[in-house]
Chains A and B, each alone.
Chain A
Amino acid sequence: MSDSNTQASAYWKENLSIIVKIMVVWFIVSFGFGILLVDQLNAITIGGYKLGFWFAQQGSIYVFVVLIFYYAKKIEQLDEKYDVHED
């Protein structure tokens, strides 16, 4: 019982650390690049896009998609590792 409990809390701890890392990226691309640092980044242009503007209206959305699938992959590996996956 206690053994499975430590297993479960180790699984949860690793899960939390993955979540925190992804949330940091989530925050940086949207609130960081898209809002807080937008003026600084706008000094750089790529084609007709100012970089800060691009992150706010395009880039952050692409990153969000990648983040979700990255998490799904990571957590699936973790499920296997701790043998808590379905079926």
Chain B
Amino acid sequence: MDLQTLTYTVVGATFLLYIGIAIWARAGTTGEFYVAGKGIGPIQNGMATAADWMSAASFISMAGLIAYMGYGGSVFLMGWTGGYVLLALLLAPYLRKFGKFTVPEFIGDRYYGNSARIVAVICLIIASTTYVIGQMKGVGVAFSRFLETDYDTGLYIGMTIVFIYAVLGGMKGITYTQIAQYCVLIFAYTVPAVFISLQLTGNPIPQLGLGSAMADGSGTFMLDKLDLVIQDLGFGEYSEAKRLSTLNMFAYTMSLMVGTAGLPHVIIRFFTVPKVRDARTSAGWALIFIAILYTTAPAVGAMARLNLMETIQVGEVGSPEGNLLYEERPQWFKNWEQTGLLKFEDKNGDGRIQHYNDKNPEMAAKAAEFGWAGDEMVKVDRDIIVLANPEIANLPNWVIALVVAGGLAAALSTAAGLLLAIASSISHDLLKGILMPDISEKNELMASRVAMAGAIAVAGYLGLNPPGFAAGTVALAFGLAASSIFPALMMGIFSTKMNKEGAIAGMIAGISVTLFYVFQHKGIFFIPEWSYLESWGSNWFFGIEPNAFGFVGAIVNFVVAFAVDKVTDEPPQHIQQLVLDVRTPRGAADAVDH
């Protein structure tokens, strides 16, 4: 079977599986639509959380970013796992004890009133929508490769499928489907990694292969070799190159960690376990399932980079025969050129491909001597690395087909979870909770489906003009969640005295400074023409990039909240009692039914 037919078959089979499960477990009631009943044990819940969590950003984008950032890419690895420690210790058990459907519901009750709830809903929608934009970029990449079309067409088709998929299901359908998706995506991610690790180092375990010697008998360690290869071409040392600065890496990591614990579609997962105890271990199980991918990713990134460099730079740097002839480029190269995500331009007209760091002055001088006229790989979208990886390594076709299916599973599962969080905050918190308390269950379901459709349309539109790589855009969403939701939740549990004025002021201040900084760099609503105050330069705040700014936003949130809290009245007695009650596990109720 040729690659295209095989890909259709594998992707088709996995889709049939998801749709079958979604129909079998169709949500009947609003309760099921939001939280799947409380019958889901910690291991299954952990697995579904992992699928929910590991999005297009993790599956498709992250290893590609690490491939080009090297050590600097560690911010994603630590940031997107360390947040689970915060979740398990600081939030999950208490929110489960509290026992409601949505995050704004908790904030509304804890801070006694609709104003806090509305602010939370708005913050949640801003953060989740930004997140979905990143997913849409991933969906577009995966579908454009799968269907061999350009990126835009891939995105339109992807949007349609996400819509059908998320609107039909609801949480109950999603939970079981996500367990299936986890299995598909983790299998699809690890199989090629094992093959490539074997090829390069002879060690089948990628986590060990990354630290092993090359299998070519030279005795050189893989990472040392990679350092040499890319330094020869003017790139920074792989194992040590920092992301801008130590402070920026610190802020970036913290922003992702805190954001992890503040994103509604993750938190909502811990409402679905039967007991408080399960909420704690569930976070642990989720992290185990996530860690399998996250500890493999650095190996995938490093090995893909080495393979890519060696495919292009076939001989010694600077020798006339040293670079691959464009005419002889491999099939995967042609496939990706078709999507527009990989572009070559023969700047010096020698018919060969030169890929090096032309921004490095020393290297540029050397390159001029070689007769090179600049980096000819004018576009290597980082988001294609993982999908192209098995092709670059010449793995069998079924592995390539599997990776496409895995990428689609990752993108779909997270997009569905997020859309659900957005839909529930609009229909459940805004409509039923505040605007139209008498709305019927049927209409509430209808409203949430309309909200989902709206969110997909907005995210799809912005996905056509994406502000960056999938993982980069998603990182912004974490910053927004970190600066708004997390501090409000944490203070709501750990301080009995935090009052409504403090929490509201904190959330508004936190998300405002973060949005101000992000939009200043990326443009208002991520429309690049609408950026402002360019004269301030980029990363002007202590060299911190916008993706990492959530850390600063969170600090602003805490400081403002405590300052305002000091000068306003204490919360009423029954609220303080509520906080004390949330702190002990006994007496946790079952799901709150409608």
Contact = CB atoms under 8 A, between A and B. Distances in A.
Contacts of A11: 583-584
B274 to A, nearest CB: 9
Interface stretch (B148-156, B189-197, B208-216, B387-395): B208-216
A44 interface: no
B295 A62 contact: yes
B78 A30 contact: yes
14 contacts: A19-B90, A34-B253, A48-B212, A56-B77, A57-B77, A57-B298, A58-B210, A60-B81, A64-B82, A64-B85, A68-B283, A69-B284, A75-B280, A85-B277
- Interface SS of A by simple majority: helix
Contacts of A22: 85, 89
Interface of B: 66, 71, 73-74, 77-78, 81-82, 84-85, 88-90, 93, 207, 210-213, 221-224, 239-240, 246, 249-250, 253-254, 275-277, 280-281, 283-284, 287-288, 291, 294-295, 298, 580, 583-588
Contacts of B253: 30-31, 34-35
Contacts of B586: 79, 84-86
Contact of A50 (B239, B294, B295, B587): B239
Nearest to A22: B89
Contacts of B78: 30, 34, 56, 60-61
B277 A48 contact: no
Interface residues of A, number: 43
Contacts, number: 138
A35 B283 contact: no
A31 to B, nearest CB: 6
B287 A48 contact: no
Given A22-B89, A86-B586, A48 B221 contact: yes
A67 B85 contact: yes
Nearest to B66: A57
A48 B211 contact: yes
A12 B493 CA distance: 11
Contacts of A54: 211
Nearest to A48: B221
A47 B221 contact: yes
Interface in A15-40: 15, 19, 22-23, 26, 30-31, 34-36, 38-39
B213 A58 contact: no
A86 B43 CA distance: 19
A68 B84 contact: yes
Nearest to B281: A72
A61 B213 contact: no
Contacts of B246: 35-36
Interface in A52-85: 53-54, 56-58, 60-62, 64-65, 67-69, 71-72, 75-76, 79, 82, 84-85
Given A42-B239, A46-B211, A26 B85 contact: yes
B287 A31 contact: no
A67 to B, nearest CB: 5
A79 B223 CA distance: 47
Contacts of B276: 86
Contacts of A85: 277, 585-586
A49 B207 CA distance: 11
A40 B16 CA distance: 52
Contacts of B254: 31
A34 B74 contact: yes
Given A48-B223, A56-B77, 5 more contacts: A30-B253, A49-B211, A57-B210, A67-B85, A68-B85
B89 A23 contact: yes
Nearest to A38: B71
A76 to B, nearest CB: 7
A86 B275 contact: yes
Given A48-B212, A56-B74, A86-B276, A65 B288 contact: yes
B89 A84 contact: no
Nearest to A72: B280
Nearest to A79: B585
A86 B210 contact: no
Contact of A12 (B73, B583, B588): B583
Given A26-B85, A35-B249, A47 B212 contact: yes
A55 to B, nearest CB: 9
A54 B66 CA distance: 14
A56 B241 CA distance: 13
A53 B210 CA distance: 11
B77 A61 contact: yes
A61 B294 contact: yes
A8 B88 contact: no
A72 B221 CA distance: 39
Contacts of A31: 250, 253-254
A27 to B, nearest CB: 9
Nearest to A27: B82
Contacts of B84: 64, 68
A6 to B, nearest CB: 12
Nearest to B584: A84
Q: Nearest 8 A-B pairs (CB), nearest first?
A: A48-B221, A56-B74, A68-B284, A49-B211, A57-B298, A84-B584, A47-B211, A72-B280
A48 B213 contact: yes
A65 B287 contact: yes
Contacts of B277: 72, 76, 79, 85-86
B585 A53 contact: no
